[in-house]
Structure 1
Amino acid sequence: MMTEQDTEILIVGGGVGGVSAALAALERGRRVVLTEETDWLGGQLTTQLVPSDEHIRVETTGRNASYARFRDLLRSHYRAFYPLTDEAAADPHLNPGAGWVSPVCVEPRVILSVIDGLLRPFVSAGQLTILLETRPVAVATSWDRIDAVTFETADGAEIVVSASVVLDATELGDLLELGGVEHVTGRESREQTGEPSAADTADLLDMQGVTWCFAIDHRDGEDHTIDRPARYEHFRDWRPSQLHGERILGFERAPEHAGDPARAYLLTPNPDDDPFGIDVDHRNMGGAPELWTYRRILARRQFQPGFFASDVTIVNWPMNDYIGGPLFGTPDAAEHRAAAKELSESLLYWLQTEAPRPDGGAGWPGLRLRPDIAGTADGFAKVPYYRESRRILAERTIVEQDFSVEILGDNAAVSYPDSVGVGHYFWIDRHPSTGGHPGGGGRPQPFEIPLGALIPRRVDNLLAAAKNIGTTQITNGSYRLQPVEWSVGEAAGAIASFAVAGATTPRAVRNDERLLAAFQEDLVAHGAQLRWDSALRW
């Protein structure tokens, strides 16, 4: 059975960028269809089990008002419904998980609840249609426009949606492939981008590793050991060249730089730590931090004594970064997808049975998967955490020399005339890749998001709204993070609305000084931050 729908703005992909884009368009009065391949909205934050990676200034600057509201609502949920300690409840910067990856580490279902609350009024008003478990399978084009996108639902039905403007907010840039939109994958060469840190040669299949995250707690004295994975020995003994010969399933890591000491990660399930003692400034974390508190999303000591028997943490560690091969763009992608999950299963089994403990023993059999947290039957994320997507060949490609501290020194990042948002992170967070790169990418100055990076060079009514914007593999390491993706999505939803209202195109807006100024005024009026304080540096 096939049905047809027509809307003003079609947003394909319900991740961080897709949700933010939908809110921006809806608040400007537009009619929106939002589709999502899984049964949860939220992308990185929910289906992939990745607490938000945030910069140190996020509480006061370097984010849009909409993102600040989103974070406030997450905290309000805990204050309203959870038995917090008096100290935690009074903390204006409440961090329920007391994780150090972000000042607000929370459960994915709480994020899902807040997203639903933000979108529900527009659904009730008939302004927004949400299609879950619906994946794009075809794109119809004419000349340099997308006419319609065909979707397949979980029960095999087909839905064809036409729209004035289409946003690709998928995790892997699906519409770029389906619609024949010019794009790049993998690594670029130095000749292509001019980036000092780029490789001598390009490789379309050299992509950053993916991570199949999972949620665990620890029940001391109990045995929750999973069945031994079929390829456990293979993964236990795997020594990828990217790790300089170290076993991937191990706490030991080679020095990051010549002359540095070797590193050893620590793991202490349910430490008797002070949740207010967590330092979220990554510049102080050292080369090998404590893993349990890294992405902890429930810290039992933030709640009334005895309410939670254990913390809950997300395992997204160097040990389950899968670098055996890419998960798209190659005939054996499905095999690598299965292997990525089996690496994570092997990591858990190793932690439960063989991992060296500080007391000289081996393994923590009390480590227990939490399917209720992940929203899956087995406790592993619904989908892998993808760090890279297909990336559009954009009107403006963001390159390393635009914001790298190592290149710019104490100078500010490039300021774009068409800035539509800002972002920052501690590192240009490039992970080990399938082509042998060990990772690492230097440091970014606080940066801006150019509108040109959201606009393809040819197709007029398509916008990138997630990790598929015009970055390089290197600059993707900062622009892929959740708060930046939120700002990208908001800008995409806003420019789509502006174009629909003015019967024009995003490209025409960007290239007309008067229209661009009017659009940027609209963004600012809705709480977007377009510039940093000129004095701020990394």
Structure 2
Amino acid sequence: MTTTPRSSPSVHGLGAPVPGGVADRLTTDVLVVGGGLGGVAAALSALEAGRRVVLSEEYAWLGGQLTSQGVPLDEHSWVEQFGVTARYRRLRDGIRDYYRRCYPLTEEARGETALNPGNGMVSRLCAEPAVGVAVLEAMLAPHRAAGRLQVLQPAVPVRARTEGDRVRDVTLRLEGRGREVTVEADYVIDATELGDLLPLTGAEYVTGFESREQTGEPSAPEQAQPANQQAFSWCFVVDHVEGEDHTIDPPHDYEQWRTKQPDYWGAPMLSLTGPDPRTLETLTRTFTPHAQTADQVADQAQNPGDRELWTFRRILDRANFRPGAYPSDVVLVNWPMIDYLDGTLVDVDPEEALAHQAAARRQSLSMLYWLQTEAPRADGGKGFPGLRLRGDLTQGPDGLAMAPYIRESRRLLTVGTVTETDLSIEHKGHARPFTTHDSVGVGMYRVDLHPSTGGDNYLDIASTPFEIPLGILVPRRLENLLPAGKNVGTTHITNGAFRLHPVEWNIGEAAGSLAAFCLERAVTPRAVQATDGLLTEFQSVLTNTGVELHWPDVVGY
């Protein structure tokens, strides 16, 4: 069976050229489609298990939400001690080491074991997107040199061929080159941001909000709402140079964005006022260029960190560097005000998807123009004309991030599903971790659903730490397709806890390791999940490569 896509790829930044020697047809052990965090982790784990890998990526940068989408690491409170994989820790350590090697840090900052280059309040490791790219490329470099890894970039999937319940090959379009490459692989891993391989392969999947009858979740609606999906955002980076005027031209529809106000927002979206994600009460934040966080430690369990927007997602704090090295801090804008609510990118006409992307960019540019011209200042004035759009640090269209920040994907129907009742502290009556016999890793984040295209406000549910079940990686039917991102077997609700950086990475590691394990043992993923002996053996493989399968027995969850 051959199928064609129902939606188009996203608008691209300029991509690195594909090597001239790429053949029109390739054969490999594992094909990973999508080079975000889950895709890179899947490729690394399969490569380090001795397998050949072809990795494709739509944008010029590998790394997805960390890099092309621009968003610094969203992590749990114990990340410096436990609760992530050894490979993910290599990524974190690599980012810190890159700053120590290449940047003019102060001696105090250089000596910080837990260096946070941006001192942002959202994460204990806030850094520039390009640094994440450099570290990920370095992690893959030995495998490129050995010839075990081939990267097709920028490339998007356009067709897939299946025979029975197996995916035989996937055809990728090499963007900007007028060519297609068909890759035949024993295992195909979908690590795309929107689950693009699911419709191409005929896989069974779900989108949007399931009904309460389908999932048994108390927060689910009575009727399923497939088109009701979390907002995506087009992030951007700014700094502030006092005395200079960097005001942009407003988008042609600026007045439309300036007055847009959902019923539950409490003010126009282009303002510093909006709903508190946890309480839903109307909250007015502050925006103070070069505000400092003093000795505060980023810990969203104690402090959401978003009351002062300058420091919320700051990715470079000039106080960490020698005096005069930088004229300004550098800040990533990923705030509620740029959540795009007017449509989805999943299973819509290609032209409609492109129109939504363009509108989302105009919404973000409108937010920047509002900050430059209308935002309230402490001195009673309006606007910060010294705000400078740093497109040089993101390399995306209109000076914004290279790619839209995606929160919700198509979700594969799998042999297991994690639901709200598995994670909700209120439902469970305690905060001890959710456990499962088929654990392939761990994660932790509140169920954090942003406003949706169906008109819903935030949904925030206090959640327990959790183990990642192998069952949410195993399709109900297809034998050799594995998910490695937001397309695993969660629900619309529990996706809000599984979509963050370290969980996506862990899922990707598990998928790549599972493909390699199945090839080595000549078994199927479904057999591994269902057979105690195989499952125990596979879990031992994961443990030996530094994957934590269980949360430690500590006080304080």
Do they fold alike, i.e. is TM over 0.5?
A: yes
Q: Is the 2:72–2:127 Cα contact (8 Å) retained in structure 1?
A: yes
Q: Is the 1:369–1:378 Cα contact (8 Å) retained in structure 2?
A: no
Alpha-carbon deviation of 1:255? Answer: 6.1
CA distance in 2, matches of 1:5, 1:33: 9
Q: Output one character per residue of 1:358-400: Cα deviation in whole Å (capped at 9) or x when no partner.
A: 2211110110011221023642011110100000001101101
CA distance in 2, matches of 1:460, 1:483: 26
Alpha-carbon deviation of 1:254? Answer: 4.7
Alpha-carbon deviation of 1:236? Answer: 0.5
Letter in 2 for 1:294: F
Q: 1:289 aligns with which of 303, 307, 315?
A: 307
* 2:337 aligned counterpart, secondary structure: helix
Q: Is the 1:187–1:204 Cα contact (8 Å) retained in structure 2?
A: yes
Within 5 Å, give how 1:401-480 maps onto structure 2.
401-425=421-445, 427-480=446-499
Q: Is the 2:51–2:148 Cα contact (8 Å) retained in structure 1?
A: yes
Q: Which runs of 5+ in 1 are unaligned?
A: none
Alpha-carbon deviation of 1:257? Answer: 7.9
Within 5 Å, give how 1:373-392 maps onto structure 2.
373-376=393-396, 378-392=398-412
Q: Output one character per residue of 1:318-355: Cα deviation in whole Å (capped at 9) or x when no partner.
A: 11011111122223322222111110010001000111
Q: 1:39 aligns with which of 57, 60, 64?
A: 60
Alpha-carbon deviation of 1:2? Answer: 7.2
* 1:226 aligned counterpart, secondary structure: coil
* 2:492 aligned counterpart, secondary structure: coil
Alpha-carbon deviation of 1:414? Answer: 2.9
Name 2:223's counterpart in structure 1. 201
Name 2:341's counterpart in structure 1. 323
CA distance in 2, matches of 1:441, 1:45: 23
Q: 2:262 aligns with which of 231, 234, 240?
A: 240
Q: 2:129 aligns with which of 96, 100, 108?
A: 108
Alpha-carbon deviation of 1:237? Answer: 0.2
More displaced stretch, 527-536 vs 280-289:
280-289
Q: Is the 2:121–2:305 Cα contact (8 Å) retained in structure 1?
A: no
CA distance in 2, matches of 1:44, 1:257: 23
CA distance in 2, matches of 1:183, 1:377: 31
Q: 2:188 aligns with which of 166, 170, 176?
A: 166
Name 1:17's counterpart in structure 2. 38
Q: Is the 1:445–1:537 Cα contact (8 Å) retained in structure 2?
A: no
Give TM-score, length-normalised by structure 2. 0.93
Q: 1:337 aligns with which of 353, 357, 381?
A: 357
Letter in 2 for 1:42: G
Name 2:509's counterpart in structure 1. 490
Name 1:7's counterpart in structure 2. 28
* 2:541 aligned counterpart, secondary structure: helix
Q: Is the 1:327–1:333 Cα contact (8 Å) retained in structure 2?
A: yes
Alpha-carbon deviation of 1:530? Answer: 0.3
Structural RMSD (CA): 1.6
- Give the 3 Å change call, closer, same or farther, for CA 42–257 of structure 1 in structure 2: closer
Give TM-score, length-normalised by structure 1. 0.96
Alpha-carbon deviation of 1:287? Answer: 8.4
* 1:167 aligned counterpart, secondary structure: strand
Q: Output one character per residue of 1:200-244: Cα deviation in whole Å (capped at 9) or x when no partner.
A: 21111100001100011001111101111111000000011342x
CA distance in 2, matches of 1:273, 1:429: 24
Name 1:139's counterpart in structure 2. 160
- Give the 3 Å change call, closer, same or farther, for CA 500–84 of structure 1 in structure 2: same
Alpha-carbon deviation of 1:527? Answer: 0.5
Matched, 1:71 2:89: no
- Give the 3 Å change call, closer, same or farther, for CA 288–71 of structure 1 in structure 2: closer
CA distance in 2, matches of 1:8, 1:420: 22
CA distance in 1, matches of 2:92, 2:531: 35
Q: Is the 1:2–1:157 Cα contact (8 Å) retained in structure 2?
A: no
Letter in 2 for 1:103: R
Q: Is the 1:95–1:104 Cα contact (8 Å) retained in structure 2?
A: yes
Letter in 1 for 2:68: T
| Count of residues in correspondence between the two structures | 533
Name 1:526's counterpart in structure 2. 545
Alpha-carbon deviation of 1:288? Answer: 5.1
CA distance in 2, matches of 1:294, 1:440: 20
Alpha-carbon deviation of 1:119? Answer: 0.4
- Give the 3 Å change call, closer, same or farther, for CA 2–74 of structure 1 in structure 2: closer
Alpha-carbon deviation of 1:433? Answer: 0.3
Alpha-carbon deviation of 1:284? Answer: 3.1
Q: Output one character per residue of 1:141-189: Cα deviation in whole Å (capped at 9) or x when no partner.
A: 0100000000110112010001001100000000001111000011111
Matched, 1:179 2:198: no
Q: Which runs of 5+ in 2 are unaligned?
A: 1-21
Q: Is the 1:14–1:34 Cα contact (8 Å) retained in structure 2?
A: yes
Letter in 1 for 2:80: E
Q: Is the 1:295–1:314 Cα contact (8 Å) retained in structure 2?
A: yes
* 1:115 aligned counterpart, secondary structure: helix
CA distance in 1, matches of 2:385, 2:486: 37
Q: 1:351 aligns with which of 368, 371, 389?
A: 371
Letter in 2 for 1:310: S
Q: Is the 1:172–1:389 Cα contact (8 Å) retained in structure 2?
A: yes
Q: Is the 2:232–2:406 Cα contact (8 Å) retained in structure 1?
A: yes
CA distance in 2, matches of 1:238, 1:342: 13
Alpha-carbon deviation of 1:412? Answer: 2.2
Name 1:92's counterpart in structure 2. 113
Q: Is the 1:53–1:481 Cα contact (8 Å) retained in structure 2?
A: yes
Q: 2:327 aligns with which of 281, 284, 309?
A: 309
